[in-house]
Homo-oligomer: A and B are copies of this chain.
Amino acid sequence: MTDERILISHGSGGKKSQELTERTFLKYFTDPALLLMNDQAVINIDTKKIAISTDTYTIDPIFFPGGNIGSLSVHGTVNDISMSGATPIAMSAGFILEEGLMLSELERIAESMAVAAAEASVRIVTADTKVVARGSADRIFINTTGIGILSEKTNICGQGAKVGDRIILSGTIGDHGIAIASSREGIEFSTPVISDSASLNYLVQTLLEAVPEGVHVMRDPTRGGLATVLNEIASQSSVGILIREAKIPLKKAVIGACELFGYDPLYLANEGKMVALVREPDAEKALEAIKSHPLGRDAMIIGEVVDDHPSKVVLRTLMGGRRLVDRLTGDMLPRIC
């Protein structure tokens, strides 16, 4: 088993496909809806409003400090669902495997997905596997599509920012980006940087229980980083955003790595952080709630929504200057998620 590899026939839909499913996937994916092995899963729901989110993961390397493409594919989609205020309940998994991938690697990835899904109380209810010839993909790509249930009154979205809202960042930025960059370059730091990849649904739940009406926008600063999501929100809500460099939590090792690589941490990807825009009267209570959760320990209020410079993000620097924080131009770190 340990030196077995994926063959083209594992994607045939025939006997070898069945073997792959039974030996590798069904060991870890054990949801009753999935085990029925129909071409679709049927699940019961009790809601009038659902959130749907899709993400394809092409991260390179597929195993990295703090996780692998499997755990990441669950965390990322759980987080996208959670950012609407929805409770993620179910998820699909679509695999593209390159001929030659080690079955043992696929097993580790499937196991990580199952563990991550269980931790987030999300069911993996349906899956699909395709195999392509060597050279037509890079080892493994995974699509996960998630479904969450929403209460009818919840309306948290990029269009919801209001002047005066406080911007809470749930912790340090850049950890995921630096973990991937250093792992890709084979560089080891004295203090290793570990990806922050994690499911934020319980952190979000804690926040929404503390300030049920107070949250206007939530978003996770993944690909493109904090700068990109703040620009998206500023533009979607036609408001200005002002953030303070001094307030942005950063690990020392990340600052050092950014100097080494020449990266701006504002553009580095995160996979276990959220930005929440909260109305001013609820801001302190919201911050406290976030800080009470292990994934929000280092949270800070980093800025606010202003009625100046609509659709633009401005940073007040450590030196007291102001600079425009534009969207990312070019490509900083391809295949970061």
**Residue contact B40 to A125, C-beta cutoff 8 Å:** no
Which of A8, A12, A269 has most chain B Cβ within 10 Å?
A12
Q: Give every chain B residue within 8 A of A222 (Cβ-Cβ).
A: 13
**Residue contact B54 to A43, C-beta cutoff 8 Å:** no
Does A219 lie at the interface of the complex (its beta carbon under 8 Å from any beta carbon of B)? yes
Does A147 lie at the interface of the complex (its beta carbon under 8 Å from any beta carbon of B)? yes
**Residue contact B54 to A128, C-beta cutoff 8 Å:** yes
* Shortest CB distance A174–B (Å): 15
Number of copies of this chain in the oligomer?
2
**How many angstroms between the C-alpha atoms of A326 and B92 in the bound complex?**
29
**Residue contact A53 to B80, C-beta cutoff 8 Å:** no
Does A93 lie at the interface of the complex (its beta carbon under 8 Å from any beta carbon of B)? yes
**Residue contact B137 to A39, C-beta cutoff 8 Å:** no
Interface size classification for chain A: 35 or more
Tell me whether A42 and B38 are in contact in the complex, defined as CB-CB below 8 angstroms, given that A331-B11, A334-B131, A335-B132 are known contacts.
Answer: no
Does A36 lie at the interface of the complex (its beta carbon under 8 Å from any beta carbon of B)? yes
Q: Give every chain B residue within 8 A of A50 (Cβ-Cβ).
A: 42-43, 45, 50, 147
Q: When the two chains form the complex, which single residue of B37, B41, B93 contacts A236, counting CB atoms closer than 8 Å?
A: B37
**Residue contact B58 to A94, C-beta cutoff 8 Å:** no
Q: Give every chain B residue within 8 A of A150 (Cβ-Cβ).
A: 42
**Residue contact A95 to B138, C-beta cutoff 8 Å:** no
**Residue contact A130 to B327, C-beta cutoff 8 Å:** no
Does A86 lie at the interface of the complex (its beta carbon under 8 Å from any beta carbon of B)? yes
Looking at the complex, which of A14-22, A102-110, A249-257, A292-300 is the stretch in contact with chain B? Answer: A14-22
**How many angstroms between the C-alpha atoms of A11 and B327 in the bound complex?**
13
Q: When the two chains form the complex, which single residue of B14, B55, B132, B137 contacts A327, counting CB atoms closer than 8 Å?
A: B14
CB within 8 Å of B: which A204-232 residues? 219-220, 222-224, 228, 232
**How many angstroms between the C-alpha atoms of A216 and B137 in the bound complex?**
39
The chain B residue sitting closest to A83, CB to CB, is: B39
